[in-house]
Amino acid sequence: MDSVNSEGCQKFFRKSHLRISRKSSALFLKFVIVTLLFVSTCSCISVKETENFQASCSKYFIIHKVGLKNNDIDRTRNKNSEQNDNTDENVSERLLYPPEKSDFYVQYSEKFGIDFDGTENRELLRAVDNWLGTRYRLGGKSKSGIDCSALVQLIYREVFGIEISRSVGDICENDLTPVEKESLQEGDILCFKTKGRRISHIGIYLKDEKFVHASRKHGVRINALSEDYYRKRFVFAGRVSKLLLSRLRPHPPAPSPKERGRGGPGVGCVQR
């Protein structure tokens, strides 16, 4: 009896163990499958997140680079605009004071002892420079010798295309409209009494009280109205009248060979 019971118990335990083993195996398989599914799902999610992260990073870098490029472009544009502004200012300066013009006026400022600012008549300065140093000769009107009235007449003819009278008396009486000394402009004619009671000498005003004239002792030169000799003998200043300005000569005739060699009639000035 006891042996039968022991065998039955053994069979029962064997069957139970088999059932438990089978159930455990099934559960284990389920666990493994679930674990694998979970791991694969997590992997997919992580891959997706990684891809999204990489895409976000790429977008960020692209935007950042584009932003940098845009900033570079903006900086370049600003720089170019500043350069263009500077260029415009330089162009404006060049138009007002071209380099060759500036050099021109610097040269003549040093040569004449007058502070020219770039607004003066270039042809007048050239004409004055052309005659400077020419010796004085009464009645002369060439490079070999010239008097004060001929100097004024020839410069007006060459620079302004205006024909004025030949003698000092006729110029002062007929060709000029008086102007105040404080209102002098370049090209105005200055009249002096250097001998006797009559006006006997004239010159052309330049700037800063300086004028060019043909001096009896020194020839064609530049002096100042503030010098005692000329300040005491100055009578009045005149501007070529408007009626005379209409008598323009676009191509004034040059002095003839005879005039260049021998000079004209003695109708010049008397002064030191």
Sign of the Cα torsion 215, 221, 227, 232 reads: positive
The conformation of residue 256, written as its DSSP 8-state character, comes to: P
Number of Cβ atoms within 10 Å of the Cβ of 85: 10
Distance CA(12)–CA(6), nearest Å, equals 10
Instruction: Identify whether 213 is a catalytic site residue.
Output: yes
CA–CA separation, 179 and 227 (whole Å): 20
Q: How many residues does the chain have?
A: 272
Q: Are 267 and 167 in contact (CB under 8 A)?
A: yes
Q: Which of 172, 213, 218, 269 is catalytic?
A: 213
Which helix (DSSP H) or strand (DSSP E) does residue 50 occupy?
Answer: helix 2-96
DSSP state of 204: E
Q: Which of 9, 42, 44, 148 is catalytic?
A: 148
Catalytic residue among 172, 191, 201, 269: 201
201 part of the active site: yes
Active site members: 148, 201, 213
